[in-house]
Structures are given as structure tokens and as C-alpha cells.
């Protein structure tokens, strides 16, 4: 569909041009200036994907939204994306049924499974009325009021709330109610299979985690049983061989005691031998010191008293030694 409007590309005068648009609900002004014309061309190229002459150049913003909404491929895409309403009227069928609690399972012997059975997880959601109300609510009124009782109750209760202004009906309330109904209907009929598939995947992951925990616990119990059995066998073997083991332990203890005693005797003997050696060494040093002092004192006493002319003889001997040394030094020179 084409839209006619007046363009002002120059300053001489208005000219008439026709621009092809992909949408018919866009409000376009009749008269505008040159700057507005540039903004409109930019809008056409960025959002509508058309050039000044009306030929398509690329997919614009709105065109991409429409293509994604319809599931049409964009230029350059090899495969078409999934449309928003592709799954309308479809239901997700799980590959495996939801596991149920065994009929004879009791967590304790006093459990009454007849009057208080285990709740079962349903594969599909229960039936509803008016898109969001469970059918079980309506079934409760049928035996008393008939099929029209629930609807009359809702109308009368709603009229009472509006009449007494407990529920003020304005544009916000209408937007809230019908908006949520729209979102619920869209999610229920367009996205329900995908949501069910995602929820089923999460649920199976949780089940697998719980199963893994149970398997790990069972494996731990089995390993514990094996360890306890090995310990029991070891105790039985030790009990059978206890006399031989006790004898060997006594022999080892005696051997250790004997070696400790031998080490103590060797240490004590070495200590005593070292004591005797040190004693003899001290004794010999003391005797030598005493003899030296006595000899030195006796010689000094004889020299001081000049007994038998020893002093003069000693001086003569020293003079002869000095002369001999002087002659040797002269001969060397």
C-alpha cells in the first residue's frame, strides 16, 4: 500500500512524491520542512528497510520483528527461525512417564494407605474453566446449585464488590486483569510446550542428582561392609595365631631389653675407662711438674750459694760458648 504526501526536497517549491511503506498504521504528517524530510528518510532506512525511491535495501527494525514473529528467515540466514505461534495447540509429551510411589510402599508399618494414600504427580495439568479456574472448584457446586451455580456466584460476588466499591473498576484494574489474562493465554498456548520441556529437563536433573546421592550412599555402605568384613577376618586370624604372636612379642621385648642393657654396660664401661685414663694423665702431669720444680729450685740454690764453685764454672762455660760463636761468625764473614 502507498502513502501520498508532500515533500520539500528543495527551496523552489513543493513537489509530490510517493513512498512505499510496509505498514499502514504509521501516522505521517502532510507538511514538513527539509530537516523533517531527512529524519523520515533515516526512519525508512533504519526501521522500514527502504531507500528514498522505495526499493528495499535491508531488513529494518520492524521488519526483523515481523520476520521473527512469523518465523521467516532474514537475508543471509540459511534456516528459518521458529515462529512465536508455532507450538499453539501442541502439548509436550515426556519421553518417560513420571515415576510413581509403589502401591505397597510404607515408611512405617502403621501407615494407612487406604485412607491416606501417597499423592501422585500428574503428567498433565488438570482441567480448567475460564482459562485460569480449576474445574474442581466447579464440580464442588454441581451437587448443590447445579451447573450455573459457580457462574452466578462469581457474577454476584463481583457485582457486590464493584457496587460497594471494594473493587474500584478503572482503567488500571481493567489493564491488570485483561493484561494478565493476555499474558497467561499467550504463555499457555504459545510457550507451554517449551516451558514444559524446560521444566521436565530441570526435574529430570533433580531426579538424577537424588539418584546419584542414593547410589553414592549405597556404594559407601557396600565399602563399609567390605572394610568391616576384612577387619573381622583379621581379628579371627589374630585370635587363632595369638599364642605364636604373644611368644614372638615376648621374644622381641626380651631382645630389646638385652640390647638396652648391653648398651648401658658399654656406656658405663667406657665412662669408667675414660675416668681412669684421665686420672693417670693428671697424676703423670703432676709428678712431672713437681720433679721440674725440685730440679729448678735445686739448681738455683746451688748457683746462688756457689757450691763447689759452680757459679764460676758456669760463667766460664758461657764465655767459652760465646767465643766459639764469635769465631764461627768471623770465619763465615
User: Are the CB atoms for 101 and 117 separated by under 8 Å?
Assistant: no
Question: Among 130, 101, 133, 132, which Cα is nearest to 117's?
Answer: 101
- Count of CB atoms situated within 10 Å of the CB of 16: 8
**12 pLDDT above the threshold of 80:** no
Mean pLDDT for the chain overall? 77
C-alpha cell at 105: 510402599
Encode pLDDT of 110-138 as tens digits. Answer: 888 888 888 887 777 788 888 778 888 89
Q: What is the pLDDT of residue 39?
A: 54
What is the pTM for the complete model shown?
0.43
Tell me the pLDDT tens digit for each residue of 53-81.
444 456 677 777 777 777 777 777 777 77
Confidence of residue 1 (pLDDT cuts 50, 70, 90): very low
Helix (H, G, I), strand (E, B) or coil at 217: helix
Amino acid at each position: 500500500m502507498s502513502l501520498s504526501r508532500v515533500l520539500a526536497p528543495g527551496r523552489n517549491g513543493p513537489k509530490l512524491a510517493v513512498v512505499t511503506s510496509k505498514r499502514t498504521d504509521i501516522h505521517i504528517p502532510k507538511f514538513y520542512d527539509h530537516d523533517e524530510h531527512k529524519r523520515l528518510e533515516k526512519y525508512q532506512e533504519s526501521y522500514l528497510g527502504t531507500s528514498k525511491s522505495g526499493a528495499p535495501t535491508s531488513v529494518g527494525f520492524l521488519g526483523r520483528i515481523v520476520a521473527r514473529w512469523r518465523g521467516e528467515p532474514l537475508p543471509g540466514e540459511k534456516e528459518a527461525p521458529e515462529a512465536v505461534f508455532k507450538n499453539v495447540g501442541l502439548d509436550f509429551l515426556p519421553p518417560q512417564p513420571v515415576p510413581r510411589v509403589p502401591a505397597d510402599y510404607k515408611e512405617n508399618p502403621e501407615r494407612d494407605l487406604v485412607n491416606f494414600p501417597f499423592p501422585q504427580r500428574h503428567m498433565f495439568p488438570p482441567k480448567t474453566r475460564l482459562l485460569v479456574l480449576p474445574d474442581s472448584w466447579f464440580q464442588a457446586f454441581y451437587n448443590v446449585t447445579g451447573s450455573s451455580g459457580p457462574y452466578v456466584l462469581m457474577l454476584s460476588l463481583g457485582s457486590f464488590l464493584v457496587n460497594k466499591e471494594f473493587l474500584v473498576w478503572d482503567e488500571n484494574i481493567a489493564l491488570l486483569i485483561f493484561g494478565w489474562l493476555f499474558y497467561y493465554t499467550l504463555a499457555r498456548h504459545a510457550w507451554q510446550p517449551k516451558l514444559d520441556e524446560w521444566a521436565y529437563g530441570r526435574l529430570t536433573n533433580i531426579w538424577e542428582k537424588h539418584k546419584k546421592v542414593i547410589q553414592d550412599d549405597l556404594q559407601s555402605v557396600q565399602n563399609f561392609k567390605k572394610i568391616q568384613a576384612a577387619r573381622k577376618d583379621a581379628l579371627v586370624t589374630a585370635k587363632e595365631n595369638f599364642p605364636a604372636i604373644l611368644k614372638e612379642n615376648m621374644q622381641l621385648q626380651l631382645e630389646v631389653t638385652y640390647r638396652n642393657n648391653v648398651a648401658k654396660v658399654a656406656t658405663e664401661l667406657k665412662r669408667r675407662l675414660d675416668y681412669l685414663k684421665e686420672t693417670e694423665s693428671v697424676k703423670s702431669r703432676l709428678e712431672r711438674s713437681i720433679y721440674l720444680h725440685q730440679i729448678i729450685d735445686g739448681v738455683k740454690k746451688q748457683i746462688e750459694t756457689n757450691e763447689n764453685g759452680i757459679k764460676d764454672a758456669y760463667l766460664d762455660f758461657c764465655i767459652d760458648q760465646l767465643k766459639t760463636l764469635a769465631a764461627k761468625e768471623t770465619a763465615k764473614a
